[in-house]
Amino acid sequence: MKARIFAIMTVIAASSASLAARDGNDMPSDTLAVVNNAHSVVVTRSMLSNNITVTGQGDDSKFYYSYTSERVDSAAIAAKNNEEWGLSLPFLRDYQRKKSEVTWGAHTQIGICMPVDGPRGLDQSIDVAMGKIVGLNYTPWAKGPTFSFGAGVFAQKFVLHGGRMFGRDGKSLVMVDLPEGAKDTHVRLFNFGFEMPFTVTQNIYKDFSFSAGVVMKFNTYTTASNKYTIDNRSYEQSIKELQQRILTYDIFGAIGWDDFALYVRYSPVSLFSKGNGPRFDVVSFGVNFGF
């Protein structure tokens, strides 16, 4: 704005100088041009210069005059350099309007969950979640990061191999040997619940970002099931009303491009407390959509 005012003042000074020349016929030594009765005066500026363009003078509609002076706008040059490099450095305030937005159907994950330090025969299976059926993103600074939380659902399934199946000892879930001659076995532990992810996401380069956070998990429905055949006769058993922990949490990390990412989650808290079922941590990994 100051540069524009300066340029306009230059034109006014030039016009005043022309009037002085007509009256006193005495021109200052630093006068660049005198334009009488200009039809149009346009003042523009860029990061490196100010420009004054005059078209038309009196009865001469084809008259044209242009003058350019150099200038330095360090803030604009810095912004252009950032744009050219594609860098968005974290925590650099741009002092723009604070931004918040509601998201739907985000943080959808499909992957594999693996028990860690668990009992013999308990193997990996499916990990599925839609962590943000509804969520809220908040970006206090133009260059990030974005703080986010939401509410969603998850489901995990674990497979039991090694000639073993699930059973009950009072209220506790235990693992016992399959009956002799059992074939076509399908022994599963299933856990379903609601989750609330709290994440921080930072853009690194263009649409390339990383995210980290904590996911609170409410384990509302946990069951075990046994299916097998003996002498071509099928047997099926469902074990419900287990004594799982209602509240656990995962540590979450992801890195990706635009809405697609690779994620990893680690649950350091066992689904069952001591004496209520098999104790194990869980590592899960896979693909994340709606990153």
How confident is the model at residue 258, as a pLDDT? 84
Mean per-residue pLDDT, 249-258? 94
Which stretch of 32-46, 141-155, 218-232 has the lowest confidence by average pLDDT?
A: 32-46
- The pLDDT of residue 58 is 80
Q: Helix, strand or coil for residue 20?
A: helix
Q: Does the structure show a pLDDT above 60 at 203?
A: yes
Burial 168-203 (b: 16+ CB within 10 A, else e): eeeeebebeebeeebeebebbbbbebbbbbebebbb
Q: Which are the contacts of 30, defined by CB distance < 8 A and separation ≥ 6?
A: none
Alpha-carbon gap, residue 159 to 1, rounded angstroms: 69
pLDDT surpassing 90 at residue 38: no
pLDDT for res 94: 40
Q: With a cut of 50, say whether residue 161 has pLDDT above it.
A: yes
Question: What pLDDT band is residue 240 in, cutting at 50, 70 and 90?
Answer: very high
The beta strands (E) that lie in 46-98 are given as 49-57, 60-70
Task: From 278, 274, 178, 277, select the one nearest 228 (Cα to Cα).
Answer: 178
The span from the CA of 132 to the CA of 134, in Å, is 5
Alpha helices per DSSP H over the chain: 2-24, 74-85
Structure tokens at 1: 């704005």
Sheet holding 60-70, edge to edge: 38-45, 49-57, 60-70
Q: Which residue has the higher pLDDT, 92 or 242?
A: 242
Q: Cα separation of 31 and 24, whole Å?
A: 15
> How do residues 74-130 score in pLDDT, each as one tens digit?
665 555 555 544 444 443 434 344 588 998 988 899 999 999 999 989 998 999 999
Question: Is the confidence at residue 14, as pLDDT, over 80?
Answer: no
Cis check: omega of the bond before 145, within 30 degrees of 0: yes
pLDDT of residue 259: 84
Residue matched to tokens 């956070």: 213
pTM of the predicted structure, to 2 decimals: 0.63
Is residue 193 a contact partner of residue 153, using CB atoms and an 8 Å limit? Answer: yes
CB 265 within 8 A of CB 286: no
**Do the Cβ atoms of 180 and 231 come closer than 8 Å?**
no
> Backbone phi, then psi, for 37, in 5-degree steps?
55, 50
What confidence category does residue 23 fall into, taking pLDDT thresholds of 50, 70 and 90?
very low
Output phi, psi for 3, to 5 deg: -65, -40
| Residue 88 near residue 58 (C-beta atoms within 8 A) | no
Amino acid at site 66: S
Encoded tokens for 253 = 């990390």
d(CA 208, CA 202): 9
Q: Confidence band (pLDDT; 50, 70, 90) for 286?
A: very high
Tell me the percentage of the chain whose pLDDT exceeds 70: 80
3-state SS assignment for residue 171 = coil
pLDDT of res. 15 = 47
pLDDT for 147 equals: 95
| Residue 56: predicted pLDDT | 84
Is residue 2 predicted with pLDDT exceeding 90? no
User: Contact at 8 Å (CB) between 140 and 146?
Assistant: no
Contact by Cβ (8 Å): 193, 217 = yes
pLDDT band at residue 279 under the 50/70/90 scheme: very high
What does pLDDT average to over the chain?
83
Residue linked to tokens 């098999």: 278
Count of residues in the chain: 291
